[in-house]
Structures are given as structure tokens and as C-alpha cells.
Amino acid sequence: MIRNRNAKINIHKLYDLYIASERNRLTKRFDTYIKAVIVFPNYYSVAMSNLGFLRAYELINQSGFMSCDRAFLQDDDSKGIISIETRQRIANYDFIFFSLSYENDFNNILSILNAEKIPFLSKDRNKSYPLIMAGGVIAFLNPEPVAPIFDLMFVGEAEAIFPDFFKIIENKKKYEILESASKLEGIYVPSGYNFIFDKKKPVTLNKIECLPGFPKKIRRKYADNGASFSSSPITTEFSELSNINMIEIERGCKRGCRFCSAGFIYLPLRESKHADVLNAIGSLSAEDKAGFVGLGTMDSKNINEIMRFSLNSKKPFSLSSIRFDCLDENNLDLIKETGIKTVTLGIETGSSRLKKMINKDIDNDEIITALKNIIKKGIINIKLYFMFGLPGEGKEDLDETINLIKTMREEFVRSSKINKRIGLITASFSPFVPKAWTPLQWESFEDLTVLRKKAGYLNENLKRLPNLNININPLNAAFTEAFFARGSRISNEILIYSFINKISLKNAITSKEYNIKDFIRKFDQDELLPWDIIEQGVTKKYLLSEYLTGINLKTTPQCFKGCKRCGVCL
């Protein structure tokens, strides 16, 4: 991974290097009359590991009347932000599409606009500026902390929204588009809405007022079953996934983990067409490796055949986090055969009580058994993901997690000795961040002082154990994520104030005379939430019932055929 950290490194030379490394299946037209650029507000290496960004780039170039370039965050932006393909300044394009995946990238949006001398707020830009749009998961999770920046936002999946949207923009001038687009399902024009806050409780939302001609809510639009398949149109050694071609096995998840936003906002579960997956594997270049993508990849009914096909085609593959109940003998044999040396497992917590609360009730004995089976297959490295700061978490819950990790490490070493090769267990801990459109969206983000004590306790009890590496993700980054994940248009005001005055978010909050605790507090169950502007499909009533079920430490079965509980599959 190379970044332009030193201003002496010429951005053009850096982009020449990146372009030379790319294996690109796209055939771009250059005789088009509309020029677009899609911007990922982070570095090239991060962007090129994001399948949503790459898929949108591909679809825009398939429109027939637009040629789309790519642009990224630059360390040296003194001469503006340029596209990687044609090296044009992004302010010179007709349309700017932003792809938004991470709340912690919001400050980078302002950096990019500032470098181009583009006003931050949509209301401050006249017709001389490009139409600036945003899509990606943020746009249909909680768009409000950045909504005033954009002229319009795509609420849902590009495959479903773009066809109708492209019909509008093909025949209209840039700023004639907004009125027509606002009538399309899945299009959100933020300027058509006023968010009215309580005068006595200034961060409490009282009312969402929609202006005449705009829908009361923006319904998420998603691709039909079989139409949602995507794979990387470009691969490069300089992506964070270095030469991995991401192949989407499925979209959505049937598990219903109560902390997981992606598990709810991508419902219903849709499996990619089997032939599409096999064709994508078969078309891989000799330099590329298949990376099977999905929230529950191993849940796919075709996963065994897919892995076998990949191996028979001499195309090695990698897997994202694996479910414990999918680690049967056959799957493990296929994983071993591809030469995978590291398996990633999302455990979340060792606490039997909290597992019920988050609807991920896997017995610790099952986890140990799965670990033994993994090691027996010669897989020498294990990555474990945990959360801390979950609602109601106490010392006894942390102790259960610590004891589970210690037991796993002991069994890992014992089983590894049989293979005469001991690898490494890496346990990563992230603070729990309550996300929109999950049953835990009403919960608070734990106070940083408490989180620091918990992080110290975990580290102190685990750091000295051999063959065990402990990573605790930065707490300040988690605060930033939580601040925006549950934020509103007030958060946008604070974001811009922070950027302009070059101060931290916390200092900006206090400077604007807000109380930090109000932004991480627990929401009332009958409270109007900033993201209620969106009609997600999953009903708020269902999420609340799941929240109460979790607080009472009860689990809910996963989705099943004919299931109509949550409101998506009506």
C-alpha cells in the first residue's frame, strides 16, 4: 500500500503506478456528453477494497451516456482533487457521486470539497457547481449528519435505483433533475425537508416537516432476487485486499444479530445466481484470488459447490468471517485444501447472558469444539472479533470473555502441538456502537471513561499470554463513529464547525454549547429518530419488539421461508 504522505511524491506519478497495476474489465466510452466522477472519501487502497464503490463505478459507466472517473482522498490536495483516469479536477465534472461507507470518513468529505473550493452545504451552491450526490450504506442507514451537504442521496441499492434515475438525468439539465428525481422511489432530496428540534432539549427531534411535492418518507429500494450480483470490475495489488477479486455470494442475512445494521438494512436475503458466481470465478486472471463476499457466506446453499468449483479451476479463494455452525467436516476440508492459514471468527462476547441479548447464542463449549476442528485441519492462525461496552455489560461478563479466550488459547496450543506448528490467536476488541435500524438503536454508547477502564481490564488480563495477540480498537474513533451513527443535522453543523476551526468533535460540541452526553444517550422508545425519514422495510415496531426481547435475554429464530415478521417480505 502506497500513500502520498510526502508532498514531494507527485500525485500523477503515484496514480500512474496505480493505473499500471490495475486489471480492469471495463470498456469505458469517451464519446459521452456527460462527465461524471465517483469519489470515495478515503485513500485509493481503501476504496479499491470496497465492492459497493466499484459496483457503482461500473454501473455509471454502463449507462451509455456518461463516462465516469474515480477520485480519492489525497494527502497533497494543494492543487485540488483530481481523478485517477483523466487527472481532471473534480469540480469540472457535470456530476459528482460520493460513495459513503464509513462514518469516520465524514471529515474527509469536507477535506475534498474544501480542496476544490466547493461550498459545503447544498443550499450555498449555485448552478455553476456540479450536481453532488451520495450513495452507499450511509445513505440508507442514517444520512442525516451529512445530508445537508448533498443535492440528492440514493436510499437503497444502485442496481435498483440507477435505471430510473439515469432516464431522468439523460434528458435534463443538472439542476432540473432534483424536482423529477425526488418523485422516484429511493431518491432523497434533503433540501425538501426541515428537521425541527426541541427548544428545551436541543438535540431532541420534534418533527420532520416535508415541503410540498416531496414524499413524507423515502422508501429504500433494493434489487430483486438474482439481480444483485456483483464482483470486482478492477483488481490491483495496491488495494487493502491485494489482488483479491470480490465475488458476492449473497446479499442480506437471515441471522438477526441485534447489533448488526447490515443484517437488517440489506434484507431480504438474496443469493446470487449460481451461474454468475461460477462465471466470475472462471474469468479470474492468473494473478487474482477469489474473495467470497456476503454477511453469511457460509450460509449459502451453494457454498460447497462454489468452493469445490474454485479449487477445481485452480482459483484459490478467501472467506470473510465464518459462522461456527457452518464449520462442518466438509467445509473445513475445502478451506484447508485452498491453503488458507488464517480463519476469522466473530464471537462478539463470551458472556452467555449477553449472547442471548444480541441474539447470537452460541455455547462456549461449541466454540472450543469448533476451534479444535479448525486446528486439526492444519489452519494455524485464528482471528477473533469481540465487542465490549454492550448494554448492561458488567465485570462478570468481561470475565466470561477473558476466560473463554484463555481456554481457547490453551486448547489452541494443545491442539497445535499435534501438528508440530503453533501459530497465533489474535483477539480484536471494538467498542459497541449502537446503529440505526437495529434493535439496539435505542441504546447508548458507553461513556469513554468507562470504556477505557474496560479496555485496560481486558488488556491487563490477556496481554502477557503467549501465542495470543490483543488488539483494542481506538476509543476516540469509536466515539466519532457513534456520534455520527446516531446523529442528526445538528451533527452536520458540529462537523463543519470542527473542520473550519480545526478542533476535535468534542471541543466543537462544547464550543457550540451542546452537552456531549446528549449525543450518546439512550433514546426514548417513543422518540422520533433522525433516520425515521427513511422507510427501511423493516418496521420500527418489529425492531422495538426485538429490542425488548433482547433486554429480557430471549433469542429469536433466524428468518425462514414464508417469514413475514419484520415487514420486509410482505
**Is residue 5 pLDDT above 70, yes or no?**
no
Residue 201: closest CA among 436, 514, 498: 514
Residues 6+ apart with CB under 8 A from 320: 291, 292, 293, 294, 297, 344
For the residues of 74-125, what is the DSSP string, one character each?
-S--TT--B-TTT--BGGGSSEEEEE---GGGHHHHHHHHHHTT--SSGGG-
Is residue 3 scored above 60 in pLDDT? no
Residue 105 has pLDDT above 50, yes or no: yes
Cα dihedral 253→350→240→284 (10° resolution): -50
Q: Using H for helix, E for strand and C for coil, what is the string for 51-65?
A: HHHHHHHHHHHCCCC
pLDDT per position as a tens digit, 65-97: 999 999 999 999 999 999 999 999 999 999 999
Specify the domain boundaries for CATH 3.80.30.20 within the chain: 234-551
Candidates 106, 86, 93, 95; CA nearest to 131 is: 95
DSSP letter assigned to residue 217: S
| Res 7: pLDDT | 46
Tell me whether the omega of the peptide bond preceding residue 268 falls within 30 degrees of 0, making it cis.
yes
158-192 confidence digits (pLDDT tens): 999 999 999 999 877 777 899 999 999 999 999 99
Q: What is the pLDDT of residue 338?
A: 86
Overall fold of domain 234-551? pyruvate-formate lyase- activating enzyme (3.80.30)
Q: Is the pLDDT of residue 1 over 80?
A: no
Q: Collapse the DSSP code of 384 into the 3-class scheme (helix H, G, I; strand E, B; otherwise coil) and give the result.
A: strand
* 341, 381 Cβ separation under 8 angstroms: yes
Q: How far apart are CA 303 and CA 283, in angstroms?
A: 18
> At CB < 8 A and 24+ separation, what contacts does 268-272 make?
268/225, 268/559, 268/568, 268/569, 269/296, 269/559, 270/223, 270/224, 270/225, 270/226, 270/228, 271/225, 271/300, 271/301, 271/302, 272/226, 272/228, 272/229, 272/248
Residues 252-281, mean pLDDT to the nearest whole number:
94
Residue in 467, 469, 433 with CA at minimum distance from that of residue 451: 433
Pairing of strands 193-197, 205-210: antiparallel
Query: For a pLDDT cut of 90, what percent of the chain falls above it?
Result: 81
User: What length does the chain have?
Assistant: 570
Query: Residue 219: helix, strand or coil by DSSP?
Result: strand
How far is Cα 498 from Cα 510, in angstroms, rounded to an integer? 11
CA–CA dist 439, 432 (Å, integer): 13
CATH code for the part of the protein at 11-219: 3.40.50.280
Which runs of consecutive H residues, i.e. helices, occur in 359-443? 364-376, 395-419
CB contact burial 270-284 (16+ within 10 A = b; e otherwise): bbbebebbbebbeeb
Q: Where in the chain is the domain with CATH 3.40.50.280?
A: 11-219
Q: Phi and psi dihedrals of 449, rounded to 5?
A: -65, -45
How far is the C-alpha of 394 from the C-alpha of 176, rounded, in Å? 56
Angle at CA of residue 315, ends 309 and 316, nearest 5°:
105
Q: Report the sign of the C-alpha dihedral through residues 555, 560, 564, 566, in that order.
A: positive
What is the per-residue pLDDT across 29-60, written as a single tens digit (0 to 9) for each? 778 889 999 999 999 999 999 999 999 999 99
